[in-house]
Amino acid sequence: PDEFGIRRIRETHTKGGSIWLVEGEDKCLLVDTSIGVAPIRAFIETVTDKPIIAFASVGYYDHAGGLHQFDARLIHRNDADRMRHPNNESSVIAFYFGAALRALPHADFDPDNYAMIGCEPTRLLSDGDVIDLGDRKFEVLHLPGITDGTCGLFERETGVLFTGEALVWDDGVVYDGEPADRSADADHDAFLRSIKRLGGLPASAVYPGHGPRQTPGVMKDVIASYRARFC
């Protein structure tokens, strides 16, 4: 883990969302679960024997695809139906699943038949809710725009910020396309308000929905780039 006690976990055969693990005194928090074609729960249980809270920042396959593997399944209430009844459009499999694979995870895997496994969330989140690990507390940030239920997490004591899908870049490179264009509930103006909110937080370390940990300065540069292009 890094100096904030956070590990990055990756499904090495995919380009899915980043997976972040935070071990608290009483529980562990898993921030996003990537595509879910690997037995991520079994792997996490080799790292810790504490109960695992699995949180999805958005109901997309590359962030919530493995959520069904866990007993505690958290997502914002506005994306809950994406988890209950996923399809290739609502989970954005239809948009870019093929591009997310670096290699087949096993010989019998058929990308054409991949489907996100639905599940019932065990806790529906709202803005300002707290995920309590015993000695660490993460505040839920509702960050609509990409979807109406996109959200992140912020630990005010340390300044640790998980942006989830609300702000996505890889090594500082901004996506070329409109960021809020993949879902029926996407909202351009809400997206701009959400990233402005992220930029105003007193973050000390930023853990994005894709790619490695970044500095607050890089995050603010990315936000400025988005706002310059899409305002």
* Range 1-28 average pLDDT: 91
pLDDT > 60? residue 99: yes
- Decide: 40 and 34 in contact? Cβ < 8 Å: yes
State pLDDT tens for residues 187-199: 988 999 999 999 9
pLDDT > 80? residue 180: no
The full DSSP string for 168-205 is -EETTEEPSS-SS-SSTT--HHHHHHHHHHHHTS--SE
For the chain, what is the mean pLDDT?
Answer: 90
